[in-house]
């Protein structure tokens, strides 16, 4: 899928998406592609007059490590998932991965399902994939601004606890 196709897909997904509860002006939606190969996690700033910066993680770690994925088991338990990542965006460097969100805008991450593992390092098998549900969460402390104010001079970082919709794959 080309860049334009990806942009159109994300815009269409954001329009008809199921959303989790809003937290401090931010809401999240988790969706899956038709081949069940990728999750798309979309963040939306629903406050029209407030821009925010969303700290997703550290780029040198090759993942949005502030975002946590969970498998909601059929028995009601929540099992954290591990993301195995890739080669990194900037090998040897740890730089913040920050998404600017203007009022009313969205930002999406594509997460390969085959890169998610259970905490015992076993892959998610097809049975669990269809029996359980998936949810993403992000949590930022109120002092998140202080981690970046010296570097960027910004005091507009989002903070709070937000969760996506619970996504069941059929």
For the chain, the C-alpha Rg in angstroms (whole number) is 16
Of 114, 170, 160, 131, the closest CA to residue 20 belongs to 160
> Is pLDDT of 35 > 90?
yes
pLDDT (average), residues 52-79: 81
Ranking 17-26, 65-74, 87-96, 106-115 by mean pLDDT, the lowest is 87-96
Q: Please count the other Cβ atoms lying within 10 Å of the Cβ belonging to residue 74.
A: 10
d(CA 115, CA 127): 17
> Is pLDDT of 134 > 60?
yes
Given CA atoms 53, 54, 55, 61 in this order, what sign does their dihedral have? negative
> Is pLDDT of 125 > 70?
yes
Between residues 77 and 11, the one the model is more confident about: 77
Contact 97/57 with Cβ under 8 angstroms?
Answer: yes
> Is pLDDT of 26 > 60?
yes
158-167 pLDDT tens trace? 889 999 999 9
Strand, coil or helix: what is 8?
Answer: helix
Between residues 3 and 50, the one the model is more confident about: 50
């Amino acid at each position: 899928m080309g860049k334009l196709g990806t942009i159109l897909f994300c815009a269409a997904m954001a329009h008809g998406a199921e959303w989790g509860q809003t937290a401090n002006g931010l809401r999240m939606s988790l969706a899956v592609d038709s081949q069940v190969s990728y999750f798309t996690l979309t963040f939306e700033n629903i406050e029209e007059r407030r821009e925010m910066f969303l700290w997703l993680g550290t780029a040198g770690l090759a993942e949005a490590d502030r975002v946590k994925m969970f498998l909601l088991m059929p028995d009601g338990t929540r099992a954290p998932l591990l993301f195995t990542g890739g080669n990194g965006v900037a090998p040897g460097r740890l730089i913040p991965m920050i998404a600017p969100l203007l009022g009313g805008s969205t930002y999406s991450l594509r997460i390969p399902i085959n890169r998610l593992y259970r905490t015992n390092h076993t892959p998610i098998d097809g049975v669990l994939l269809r029996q359980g549900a998936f949810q993403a969460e992000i949590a930022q402390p109120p002092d998140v601004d202080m981690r970046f104010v010296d570097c960027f001079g910004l005091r507009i970082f989002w903070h709070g606890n937000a969760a996506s919709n619970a996504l069941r794959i059929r």
